[in-house]
C-alpha cells in the first residue's frame, strides 16, 4: 500500500515536533505514542488478575474490605511518587493525554480478558467529574480509561458515563488523609434516572484513575445502591497505597 498524504504530513510533523516518552523522555519513533517499548515492559504492573485468590486479597482490595462488597479489586499499576505510573497519570490528567488513558485501558482490558473473573460483567461505571472540572480539563480521564477497557473486551460492553452525576465540586484530595477524603466526597454523587434504569440488577465495574484511600469509590458505590446492582467489581489504572500518607 502506498503511503498517503497524511502519512507524509505526520512524518514531517514528527521531525519538527518529535514526541517523547512520558516516562523516560526519550524521543519516540514516528509510529509510537506516549510510552516507549522499554518503559512499557518495565511498568510496575500489579498482575493481581493472574491469581484468582488475589482478585480481592491484595493490598488494594484490603483497602475496600467492609466498605464495598466487591468481588474483585484490580488496579493495573503500582503508584510510587516519581515513578512511571505517576508520570503516566500526570500526562493523562494535566497534559491532555486522554488517548493515553484509553490506551492504558485497552492494554489492561486485553490482559483482563484472559483472566478468570467470577462472572461476566455487564459494563463499566467511571467515576464522574463535576461538569465544571470536566469542562476545564476537556474530558474525564476515568471515562477514557473505561472506554479502553470496554473496547478490548471479548464482547461489547457499555460505559455508563451518564448513570451518576457529581453534584458538588470540592478541592483536590491529593494531600488529604483518610477522614478528610471521606468527608470531601460524602454525598457528592447522585444516581440519575437513566442510571437507576441502566444499572438495575447489573454486574457493575467501578472505574477510577487512582485508588488511594478508597473514599471516592466508596461514595460512588453508595450512590448506585438504589439501582440494586447484582454484583460490583473495581478496576483502577493505579493503586497508590500509602503514597499520599
Q: Specify if 245 maps to a domain.
A: no
Are 112 and 131 in a shared domain? yes
Are 36 and 95 in a shared domain? no
Are 37 and 112 in a shared domain? no
pLDDT for 31 equals: 78
Pairing of strands 203-211, 231-239: parallel
Q: What percent of the chain has a predicted confidence (pLDDT) above 90?
A: 75
Are 97 and 14 in a shared domain? no
CA dihedral (26, 32, 37, 43) positive or negative: positive
Are 157 and 199 in a shared domain? yes
Are 32 and 152 in a shared domain? no
Q: Which of 103, 112, 100, 151 is nearest to 233 (CA)?
A: 112
Are 14 and 101 in a shared domain? no
Are 210 and 146 in a shared domain? yes
Q: Specify if 97 maps to a domain.
A: yes
Segment 234-238 mean pLDDT: 98
**Domain extent for 61:** 43-239
Q: Of 58-67, 82-91, 113-122, 174-183, which range is least confident?
A: 174-183
pLDDT of 114 > 50? The answer is yes
Are 28 and 85 in a shared domain? no
Tell me the pTM: 0.87
Q: Of 2-16, 93-107, 127-141, 213-227, which range is least confident?
A: 2-16
In the chain, the number of structural domains is 2
Amino acid at each position: 500500500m502506498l503511503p498517503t498524504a497524511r502519512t507524509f504530513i505526520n512524518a514531517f510533523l514528527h521531525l519538527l515536533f518529535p514526541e517523547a516518552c512520558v516516562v523516560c523522555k526519550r524521543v519516540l519513533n514516528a509510529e509510537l505514542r506516549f510510552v516507549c517499548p522499554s518503559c512499557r515492559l518495565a511498568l510496575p504492573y500489579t498482575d493481581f488478575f493472574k491469581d484468582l485468590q488475589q482478585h480481592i486479597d491484595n493490598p488494594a482490595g484490603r483497602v475496600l474490605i467492609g466498605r464495598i462488597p466487591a468481588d474483585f479489586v484490580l488496579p493495573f499499576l503500582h503508584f510510587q511518587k516519581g515513578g512511571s505510573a505517576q508520570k503516566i497519570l500526570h500526562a493523562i490528567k494535566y497534559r491532555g493525554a486522554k488517548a493515553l488513558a484509553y490506551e492504558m485501558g485497552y492494554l489492561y482490558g486485553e490482559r483482563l480478558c484472559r483472566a478468570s473473573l467470577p462472572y461476566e460483567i455487564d459494563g463499566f461505571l467511571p467515576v464522574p467529574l463535576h461538569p465544571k472540572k470536566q469542562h476545564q480539563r476537556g474530558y474525564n480521564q476515568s471515562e477514557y480509561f473505561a472506554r479502553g477497557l470496554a473496547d478490548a473486551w471479548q464482547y461489547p460492553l457499555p460505559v455508563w458515563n451518564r448513570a451518576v452525576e457529581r453534584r458538588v465540586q470540592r478541592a483536590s484530595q491529593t494531600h488529604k488523609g483518610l477522614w478528610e477524603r471521606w468527608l470531601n466526597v460524602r454525598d457528592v454523587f447522585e444516581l440519575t434516572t437513566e442510571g437507576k434504569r441502566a444499572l438495575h440488577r447489573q454486574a457493575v465495574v467501578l472505574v477510577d484513575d487512582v485508588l488511594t484511600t478508597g473514599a471516592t469509590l466508596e461514595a460512588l458505590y453508595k450512590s448506585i445502591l438504589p439501582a440494586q446492582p447484582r454484583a460490583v467489581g473495581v478496576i483502577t489504572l493505579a493503586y497508590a497505597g500509602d503514597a499520599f500518607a
